[in-house]
Amino acid sequence: MSGGIVTLLSLLGFLAIVVWVFIVKRREDFDEQAHLPLEDSDEQGDAAEHEHREKES
């Protein structure tokens, strides 16, 4: 009987984590990160170079 309770609590904990990660967190962040590999590499290089220059100043 106690094994079933532990299994149920584990399942509920897992589902709570899944809901928190995929629903509660911002979907925009996931969408933005999903499109990163599709962006032009020149744009990424220019942005990285610009950030590097700002850190040096």
Q: Give pLDDT tens digits for 3-41.
A: 999 999 999 999 999 888 877 667 777 788 888 888 876
> What is the pLDDT confidence band of residue 50, given thresholds at 50, 70 and 90?
low
pTM summary value? 0.44
Q: Say what the pLDDT of residue 23 is.
A: 77
CA 52 vs CA 4, 27, 42: distances in Å: 55, 28, 15
- What type of residue sits at position 31? D
User: Positive or negative, the Cα torsion across 27, 33, 36, 37?
Assistant: negative
Which residue bears the tokens 């629903």? 23
Q: Is the pLDDT of residue 45 over 80?
A: no
CA 6 vs CA 1, 11, 12: distances in Å: 9, 9, 10
Secondary structure letter of residue 14 according to DSSP: H
